[in-house]
C-alpha cells in the first residue's frame, strides 16, 4: 500500500451515488487531513440512489442544469466557496468538460501551487460534425490537469491518444466492493442452473433480451432471478408472463440483502450497459456474461472467467448462455478465477492504492 496522503484532500462530483460512499470513506481514512466531497443532488429522472459518507465530510453543492441530451451542461454553485473553506492540498475532479465550474476550480488550485487530478471513464474517439474543433477543446480541457486517473486500461490509452502525457495517466480499476475476506461457500450444483441479473430496470440494461434468451435454452431451463427496480419493471414482468413465466423478480436489494442471491447463483449476466455489480458477483466466485462497454469490463471479464458479448446482439447472448450452461463444472472453475481477480486486482483497496500513487506522484 502506498503512503497516506499527508494533507487535506478535496473531491468534486456532480452527484454522490450511494455505491461510492465506501470508497470515499476509505480514501478519507487514508488522508492525514481527511477528505471533503463536494457534490449536488441527482435529478429525479436519473434514478440515482444518493449516499452520504460516514467518514469523509460532505459539502452539498447546488447543481444548475442547462439544456439536455448531447447539449447538457452543469454548473455547480458554491464550488470556490467550498475550496476556500476546506483549503485542500490537492483536488480530484470529474474529467467531464460539461461541468462549467471545473475551470475556475483548477485556476484556484494552480494559483496556490496545488495539483488537480481528473478522474474519468476515458476519451473515446470523436467523429462527425466539427470533430476537429471538439477534439482540440477536449485536449485543452484535459491538459490543464496535473494527472488523470482512468477507470480502465482502455480509458488510460484513450487519454494518452487525446493528448495527456502518458506518465501523467494512471489506472484505478473501477470497484465498489472491498477485497473479499474469504471465498464464499457455493451451493451444491442442482439440476437447473440459476442465472442472476442485478441492476436498475431500464431499457439500456436489455433485460427483455435476457428473458427471451432464457426461453431459448434447452432443458433443464435455468431459473432466472432479476434483482432491481425501475421504470421498466411492469413491462418486463408482463413480458416474462408471456415468454418466461418462471422468472423471479426480487425487487431492489442493496448491500447485505444481495448476499443470498449471489450465493444461490451459477452464472451472473448483464446483457446491457453499466454494471458495477459485476465486481460484486466476482467477489462471490461467479462466472460472468457481460456486454462490452466503456472498457471497465475488459479489466474484469476475460476468457478465463466469462464472456464479453457485443451490445444489442441477442444471438450472441443466446450463444454465450448455451456455451456457459453446457458445462457446470467449468462454470465453477471460471468462478474461481473471478474470485482471484476480485481478491488480487479489482477491489476498493487496489483502487485506493492507485489513487494514493497518483496523489504522491502529482504532489512532488
What integer is the mean pLDDT of 154-171? 96
If you average pLDDT over every residue of the chain, what do you get?
94
Contact 308, 297 (CB under 8 A): yes
C-alpha to C-alpha distance for 56 and 47, rounded to whole angstroms: 24
Architecture of domain 9-175+347-362 in CATH? 3-Layer(aba) Sandwich (3.40)
**Residue among 141, 91, 139 at smallest CA distance from 117:** 91
Quick: pLDDT tens for 289-345.
999 887 788 899 999 999 999 988 999 999 999 999 999 999 999 999 999 999 999
- Helices and strands counted in the chain (H then E): 13, 15
pTM as predicted: 0.92
- Give the total residue count for the chain: 364
Q: What is the pLDDT of residue 349?
A: 97
What integer is the mean pLDDT of 209-236? 95
Three-state DSSP class for residue 51? coil
Q: What is the pLDDT of residue 256?
A: 86
Q: What is the pLDDT of residue 364?
A: 61
C-alpha to C-alpha distance for 77 and 328, rounded to whole angstroms: 54
Half-sphere exposure of 144 (CA within 13 A, CB side): 22
Sign of CA dihedral 50, 224, 322, 201: negative
Q: What is the pLDDT of residue 275?
A: 73
Where do the H-state alpha helices sit in 257-313?
A: 259-263, 277-283, 296-300
Question: What grid cell was written down for 221?
Answer: 431451463
9-175+347-362 and 194-344 agree in CATH topology:
yes
Sign of CA dihedral 42, 204, 95, 120: positive
Quick: pLDDT tens for 135-158.
999 999 999 999 999 999 999 999
Where do the H-state alpha helices sit in 74-223?
A: 79-86, 102-111, 131-142, 153-161, 207-215
Looking at the domain that runs over 194-344, which CATH code has it been given? 3.40.50.2000
Quick: pLDDT tens for 297-310.
889 999 999 999 99
Contact 258, 279 (CB under 8 A): no
Residue extents of the structural domains in the chain: 9-175+347-362, 194-344
Amino acid at each position: 500500500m502506498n503512503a497516506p496522503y499527508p494533507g487535506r484532500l478535496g473531491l468534486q462530483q456532480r452527484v454522490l451515488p450511494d455505491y461510492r460512499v465506501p470508497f470515499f470513506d476509505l480514501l478519507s481514512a487514508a488522508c492525514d487531513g481527511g477528505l471533503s466531497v463536494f457534490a449536488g443532488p441527482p435529478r429525479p429522472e436519473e434514478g440515482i440512489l444518493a449516499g452520504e459518507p460516514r467518514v469523509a465530510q460532505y459539502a452539498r453543492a447546488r447543481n444548475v442544469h442547462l439544456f439536455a441530451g448531447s447539449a447538457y451542461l452543469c454548473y455547480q454553485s458554491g464550488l470556490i466557496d467550498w475550496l476556500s473553506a476546506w483549503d485542500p492540498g490537492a483536488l480530484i475532479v470529474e474529467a467531464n468538460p460539461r461541468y462549467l465550474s471545473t475551470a475556475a476550480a483548477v485556476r484556484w488550485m494552480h494559483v496556490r501551487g496545488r495539483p488537480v487530478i481528473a478522474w474519468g471513464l476515458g476519451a473515446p474517439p470523436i467523429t462527425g460534425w466539427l470533430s476537429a474543433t471538439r477534439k482540440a477543446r477536449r485536449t485543452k480541457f484535459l491538459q490543464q490537469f496535473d494527472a488523470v486517473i482512468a477507470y480502465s486500461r482502455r480509458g488510460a490509452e484513450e487519454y494518452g491518444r487525446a493528448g495527456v502525457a502518458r506518465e501523467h495517466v494512471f489506472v484505478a480499476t473501477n470497484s465498489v466492493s472491498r477485497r473479499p475476506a474469504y471465498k464464499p461457500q457455493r451451493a451444491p450444483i442442482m439440476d437447473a442452473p440459476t442465472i442472476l441479473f442485478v441492476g436498475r430496470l431500464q431499457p439500456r440494461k436489455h433485460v427483455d433480451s435476457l428473458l427471451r434468451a432464457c426461453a431459448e435454452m434447452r432443458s433443464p431451463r435455468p431459473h432466472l432471478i432479476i434483482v432491481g427496480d425501475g421504470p421498466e419493471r411492469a413491462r418486463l414482468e408482463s413480458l416474462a408472463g408471456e415468454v418466461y413465466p418462471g422468472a423471479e423478480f426480487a425487487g431492489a436489494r442493496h448491500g447485505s440483502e444481495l448476499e443470498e442471491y449471489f450465493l444461490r447463483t451459477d452464472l451472473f449476466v448483464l446483457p446491457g450497459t453499466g454494471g458495477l455489480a459485476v465486481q460484486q458477483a466476482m467477489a462471490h466466485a461467479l462466472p460472468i456474461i457481460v456486454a462490452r462497454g466503456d472498457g471497465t469490463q475488459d479489466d474484469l471479464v476475460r476468457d478465463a472467467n466469462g464472456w464479453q458479448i457485443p451490445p444489442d446482439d441477442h444471438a450472441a447472448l443466446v450463444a454465450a448462455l448455451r456455451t456457459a450452461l453446457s458445462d457446470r463444472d467449468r462454470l465453477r472453475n471460471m468462478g474461481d478465477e473471478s474470485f482471484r481477480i476480485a481478491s488480487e486486482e479489482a477491489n476498493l483497496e487496489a483502487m485506493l492504492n492507485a489513487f494514493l500513487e497518483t496523489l504522491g506522484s502529482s504532489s512532488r
